[in-house]
A and B are shown apart, each in its own frame.
Chain A
Amino acid sequence: MSEPVKVLGISGSPRRHGNTETLLDAVLEGGREAGAGVEKIVLRSLDYASCRGCNACHRTGVCIIQDDLTPVFEKIAAADVLAVASPIYSMGITAELKGLIDRSQYIWARKFILKNLYFTTEHMRRHKGIFISTAGLGWENVFDAAFPAITAFFNTTGFEYWDNVIVNNLDHYGGIAEHPTALAEGRAKGQEVVGLLQKMQASRDTEA
């Protein structure tokens, strides 16, 4: 019998229980309903520094900064599903989430400079990343500039960028709770990804 699928949610919003965190909660709730073990990390309640650009990790593979992000990266490495959430501020992800993403440089260094870390295709297939975001503006392109940093983060940390749960035009709807479909879709997405990984585990167990 396999371990339960582990879903790690990371909220990059400075506002507690706002639109983005509520949408993340829906995805996590869906995952829990499907039988996953779920944990949520709220970046604003942590104390951490931004990457110093010192490049020491290019030699050592270890970040010289030890703070509240150190265990967060351990949890990321142990997760099967990584659900990363940020509202759109000034056409991008929040400074809080960018602070986390920039700190993943040591993993990038291990992969591409020291070459002592490698994620196989099979590993990527079994680790799914979901980007969760909300925007007040109704522009179609309001998330576009956020995607490349998220793509880079999932690549670096060994997650296949599986899907987005993104909702724009929330100023028009008056918040996520008033949106006709967003929370139900988020919940369904959480159930779907956990179901998918459970099926993969089951087929591997049968083979073994």
Chain B
Amino acid sequence: MTIDVLAFATSPRRHGNSETLLDWVLAAMEREGETAVEKIVVPEVDIRPCRGCNACEMLNRCVQRDDMDYIHDRIIAADCIILASPIYCMGLAAQAKVLVDRAQVFRSRKYVLHLPVVPPERKGKRVGIFLSTAGQTWDYVFDAAIPSVKCFFNVIDIGKKDVRYLMVNGVDEKGAITRHPTAMRDAETLAGEVITGLREAGVV
């Protein structure tokens, strides 16, 4: 058995600050052993925006056929789901918001159709992580992104107490995060705590 980690790098800039933060978490998780990591680079796959058609409220699936078909199944299978996004204009990057909006099919399943998203025995045994970076130094720069993040994890059946956050402000140009005094250590600590927690919950 392995712990199944599914990570979304949503920044349009490859190997920038938010993806680097994500890579540190993923590398630390792999070092823990018994962990399989998959990173999806959202700007490089085909995920189209939600059309707001509400068909999923009846069909229990999205009418659009794109890479979200695969991602949908992976979201259900994963034990740990990580969303990494930079802050653009005081919110999630548009690329991240596309993914979050397409989780509407899970909302319909949960709140309209009243069907389970994951089997009851897996509830409370899944963890969500939100990783973010912002160029601005304001301490409130992440505030407006968090409600959408909470929505995302809520509809995929990861409860509030099972969502962890690591958000680093004041990192703007590419590579700035590597000079941050604590970000790398914080990422590794977080990774260790999450994997330990999943082991204790009996995932492996």
Contacts and interface: CB of A to CB of B under 8 A. Distances in A.
Interface of A: 13-15, 18, 50-55, 87, 89-96, 98-99, 101-102, 104-105, 144-149, 151-153, 156
A31 to B, nearest CB: 25
B89 A90 contact: no
A51 B144 contact: no
A87 B50 CA distance: 12
Given A92-B92, A98-B91, A147-B144, 16 more contacts: A14-B49, A50-B12, A50-B94, A87-B52, A90-B97, A90-B104, A90-B152, A91-B148, A91-B150, A92-B97, A95-B50, A98-B93, A98-B94, A102-B88, A104-B89, A146-B144
B91 A148 contact: yes
Given A53-B12, A53-B86, A94-B49, A145 B94 contact: no
Nearest to A142: B147
B91 A95 contact: no
A14 B91 contact: no
Interface string B72-86: 000000000000001
Given A14-B52, A15-B51, A53-B86, A92 B147 contact: yes
A106 to B, nearest CB: 12
B11 interface: yes
Q: Ordered nearest first, which 4 A-B pairs have the shortest CB separation?
A: A91-B147, A148-B90, A53-B13, A15-B52
Q: Name which of A52, A95, A104, A152 has the most chain B CB atoms within 10 A of its CB.
A: A95
B50 A145 contact: no
Given A13-B52, A89-B104, A149-B91, A53 B11 contact: yes
A151 B101 CA distance: 21
Interface of B: 11-13, 16, 43, 49-53, 86, 88-95, 97-98, 100-101, 103-104, 143-148, 150-152, 173
A145 B52 contact: no
A114 B109 CA distance: 49
Contacts of A54: 12-13
Nearest to A90: B151
B90 A14 contact: no
A54 B14 CA distance: 9
Contacts of B93: 50-51, 53, 98, 102
A105 B88 contact: yes
B144 A92 contact: yes
A149 B16 CA distance: 22
A93 B151 CA distance: 13
A88 B94 CA distance: 14
Contacts of B144: 92, 144-149
Nearest to B13: A53
Nearest to B16: A53
Contacts of A50: 12, 43, 93-95
Contact of A98 (B97, B104, B173): B97
A145 B97 CA distance: 13
Contacts of A52: 12-13, 43
A71 B14 CA distance: 28
B50 to A, nearest CB: 6
A94 B147 contact: no
